[in-house]
Amino acid sequence: MEPGTLVYDQRARRVGEYQDRSGPHVMLRPVGGGREWQADVAEIRVATLDERLSAGVRALNERSREGLSADPTRPPVPVPGCAACEELAVRRDRARAAFDGSAVTDANVLLRQHQRKEHGGEPASGRRVFRYVPYTIVQDASALPEYQAYCVSGADADCGASSGPCPSPGEVEEWQRRHTQETRHLRYRRSFADYAVLERQG
């Protein structure tokens, strides 16, 4: 088992980070830091997603109550219910499982960046209390995705001609071909936009 794996100790009834093993015993560390404890190998199993999430929430809440600043040497904890956090945490788990240290670091950097942007900084630096509110992000079916091309040809300034929003990439290409035929312009910036909504689960 990899150090840092979150496991559930059935005797202590809590989730801990696996540290290491000696004989029939393993050392576990509370999520978010604190005093390690010893558990029996036979009594631990890999924590479920729910257990990991609620342990993460508890740690965040404890830390924000204590007003401690986030420890930059500790890996960031995903904010429960946030799909982006969870995705990066899964990526980090996979990297750990593959012993890919630099990919683990990358995932941590991305997770910190994302948390600074979307969750108002390192979760514990403010005094925010996170609640467990799971959302799913889905494409908004009531609004069509938009494809668009914008002509950026021209020596001094962009030509600026635009296809306008189109419902399919094919129409954008058709417009580009026409525009190139008429103007000999060759370079375009293309963009795609869609709408997404967050749906509360449960």
CA 68, 70, 73, 79 torsion: positive or negative?
Answer: positive
Nearest position to Zn ion, beta carbon: 159
Q: What is the smallest separation between the CB atom of 85 and Zn ion, expressed in angstroms?
A: 3
**Is residue 85 close enough to count as binding Zn ion by CB under 5 A?**
yes
Is residue 79 close enough to count as binding Zn ion by CB under 5 A? yes
The CB-of-152 to Zn ion minimum distance in angstroms stands at 8
Number of residues located near Zn ion, criterion CB under 5 A? 10
88 binds Zn ion (CB under 5 A): no
Helices (H), 6-129: 49-66, 83-97, 101-118
Q: What is the distance between the alpha carbons of residues 152 and 157, in angstroms, rounded to a whole number?
A: 8
Distance of closest approach, residue 99 Cβ to Zn ion, in angstroms: 26
Task: Pick the binder of Zn ion from 47, 77, 124, 151 (CB under 5 A).
Answer: 151
Angstrom distance (rounded) from CA 82 to CA 156: 44
User: Is 161 an interacting residue with respect to Zn ion (CB under 5 A)?
Assistant: yes
Span 90-129, contacts to Zn ion by CB under 5 A:
none
CB of 51 to Zn ion, least distance (A): 19
φ and ψ at 23, to 5 degrees?
60, -130
- CB neighbours of residue 125 within 10 Å: 16
Whole-angstrom distance, CA of residue 17 vs CA of residue 6: 5
53 makes contact with Zn ion (CB under 5 A): no
Cα 164 to Cα 148: distance, rounded to the nearest angstrom: 6
Q: How far is the CB of 193 from Zn ion (least distance, A)?
A: 21
Site residues for Zn ion per CB under 5 A: 79, 82, 84-85, 151, 153, 159, 161, 183, 185
